[in-house]
Chains A and B, each alone.
Chain A
Amino acid sequence: MTLMQADRRPATRAEGNHGTVEARSAPGPAAGTLCLKVMETPNAPNPEAAAPPSTSADVNRRLGALLGQIANGDQAAFAEFYQLTSRRVFGMARRVLIDAELSEDTTQEVFLQVWQNAAKFNADAGSPLAWLMTISHRRAVDKVRSSQSSTDREARYGASSQEIDHDSVSDEVGSKLEAEAVVRCLDTLTDTQQESVRLAYYGGLTYREVAERLNAAVPTIKSRIRDGLIRLKTCLGVS
């Protein structure tokens, strides 16, 4: 986050070629009158242009091969598996648990489980990434339920949900097209479906807790989760 340093001294900081413009508001309610001007900087070439395509299918193929090697005790394969996936595991744990140490513990437990259970991975039962993220989510949810009251989790949900929308999906493992499909497909869910699925996934809430949080009937929440995920699945073409 070093690029995001606080800068309250406009006269003494030039910010290179970027125009940093301070908007000083008089204290008072009329913040909308803040006069902030954002200065344009010359466009630079898109640094992403050279990035090779990597679809989730490519990544899953590689992860599947690595799991086979890990099952034979191959530590280099384990290292590569970690390198390819640890950002996902830790990122999800952070969303669910918020706490950095708990998230680190969870990530550690997940990869220990990968090492121990790589031989049990069954490609017929799902992709390697789904296998991993299922383990990860289970661990994170167990931990959050044992360490935090549901009230805490509900209160924290707001914080963890801020990037779920169309933000964090835009550059995930996989190609731009896949990411765009996720954005498009999430939009086909009703707001209440999205909300219910997200509260359960990143909030670590049970359907009953989701119902309480949203002040909705329990059967309704079960339906929203089922219908939302089925709709998402259909839109994404998961088969």
Chain B
Amino acid sequence: MNDMNPQNSGRTPGSFSADIASDLSSGRAVDLAEVYALHALDDAERTAVDRYLAEAQPAERAEFEERVRQARETLTMSFSAEEEPPAGLFDRIVAALPAQAAGPADVAPPAPAAPPVVARPVREHPEHAVTDELSAARQRRDERRRPQGMRNWLIGVAAAAAIAVGGVGVGAYVANQNDPLNQVLQAGDVRKATVDVIGGGTASLTLSSSKDAVVVKMNGVPAPPAGKVYQMWLIPKDGSAPVSKGLMDAEALSKPAVVTGIGSAAALGITVEPVGGSKTPTMPTVAAAPLGA
């Protein structure tokens, strides 16, 4: 089943046109479902596809929608990066709920059956309820946007309390969702090492054989020269070609990177490459560490 051919039809693969309008007029609308699901069309093209579908036969539309649905499930399963959002974000979200619903910036139409924001009416005049500096500041900020500032704030307090107790029942899910980084850092068998990077700074390595991964963190390493990036490689034990494990630009330098697959690697190397990375490392390495498992 893993051949190159799309399995929806007998059409030859690879027979797209250069532009979406031609694809649509030549009967390839359904084959655009994956590109559509990936949000890889520009606005005008997406509108063109939507317009086409609105006029299309129900069977064709249904096939398109089914392919889009499957593509979305596939993407959701396959691209699952996780990162802890800033503390306090939820509180800010809840505080903003009603104002945002009425906000002109929000193009999404509110749901027809918009949920009630609070169970019972709350006084609309915040000045009577302000009791401390924080809420006063919040009130001022909210008043700039909507006349319902205090109501929003009250909801924020309520939901903040809810998150404190409401999450207990599903803690197991959350506990199991540690990101790969923490999975490695908290593994029971971590080993640590630090190597100097030519040009300045160091790379800290935290290895875990059980996780088959190493976390690489650059410390005080200068940004790559203009037009260059750092590229990480694993050098396989079997002598085969180095395997690229990702790029680090100036911005990525401050963040730890997880490199997996160290079990079959003899060493980790870091090189300087043109932006976009290279297929094979440009020697010399600026840092290298035997992984010696």
A interface residue numbers (CB < 8 A to B): 1, 3-8, 10, 15, 18-25, 27-32, 34, 36-41, 43-48, 51-52, 54, 56, 58-59, 62, 70-73, 75-80, 82-84, 86-92, 94-95, 98, 100, 104, 107-109, 111-113, 115-120, 125-127, 129-130, 133-134, 137-138, 141, 154-156, 158-174, 178, 182, 185-186, 188, 197-198, 200-202, 204-208, 210, 217-220, 222-223, 225-236, 238-239
Query: Do residues B84 and A90 form an inter-chain contact, with CB atoms below 8 A?
Result: yes
Supplied contacts A116-B100, A235-B2, 9 more A-B pairs, CB within 8 Å: A18-B191, A56-B77, A108-B96, A119-B111, A165-B246, A172-B80, A210-B40, A229-B37, A231-B4
User: Which residues of A have CB within 8 Å of B259?
Assistant: 167
Contact (A227, B6) CB under 8 Å given A52-B176, A88-B82? yes
Query: Do residues A172 and B82 form an inter-chain contact, with CB atoms below 8 A?
Result: yes
B interface residue numbers (CB < 8 A to A): 1-2, 4-8, 13-19, 23, 31-35, 37-42, 45, 65, 69-86, 89-90, 92-94, 96-97, 100-101, 106, 108, 110-119, 155, 158-159, 162-163, 166-167, 169-170, 172-180, 183, 185-196, 198, 201-202, 204-207, 210, 213, 215, 217, 219-220, 229, 232, 245-249, 251-252, 256-261, 269, 275-277, 283-292
Smallest beta-carbon distance B290→chain A, Å: 6
Query: Do residues A113 and B38 form an inter-chain contact, with CB atoms below 8 A?
Result: no
Contact of B202 among A6, A54, A76 (CB under 8 A): A6
Q: Kindly name the residue among B74, B94, B162, B204 whose own CB sees the greatest number of chain A CB atoms within 10 A.
A: B74
Query: Do residues B198 and A25 form an inter-chain contact, with CB atoms below 8 A?
Result: yes
Instruction: With CB as the reference atom, state the residue of chain A lying closest to B217.
Output: A4
Query: Do residues B83 and A90 form an inter-chain contact, with CB atoms below 8 A?
Result: yes
Query: Do residues A158 and B90 form an inter-chain contact, with CB atoms below 8 A?
Result: no
Contact (A171, B177) CB under 8 Å given A90-B84, A159-B251, A207-B40? yes
Contact (A83, B174) CB under 8 Å given A90-B85, A159-B252? yes
Query: Do residues B2 and A234 form an inter-chain contact, with CB atoms below 8 A?
Result: yes
Query: Do residues B40 and A229 form an inter-chain contact, with CB atoms below 8 A?
Result: no
Smallest beta-carbon distance B177→chain A, Å: 6
A-B contact pairs, 12 of them (CB 8 A): A3-B185, A6-B202, A6-B204, A8-B202, A22-B195, A22-B196, A54-B172, A54-B176, A87-B85, A134-B72, A162-B246, A233-B74
User: Which residues of A have CB within 8 Å of B114?
Assistant: 116, 119
Query: Do residues A170 and B260 form an inter-chain contact, with CB atoms below 8 A?
Result: yes
Contact (A4, B258) CB under 8 Å given A23-B289, A227-B4? no
In Å, the complex CA distance between A219 and B150 comes to: 54
User: Which residues of B have CB within 8 Å of A231?
Assistant: 2, 4
In Å, the complex CA distance between A229 and B169 comes to: 35
Smallest beta-carbon distance B280→chain A, Å: 14
Query: Do residues A23 and B84 form an inter-chain contact, with CB atoms below 8 A?
Result: no
User: Which residues of B have CB within 8 Å of A126?
Assistant: 69, 72-73
Query: Do residues A156 and B251 form an inter-chain contact, with CB atoms below 8 A?
Result: yes
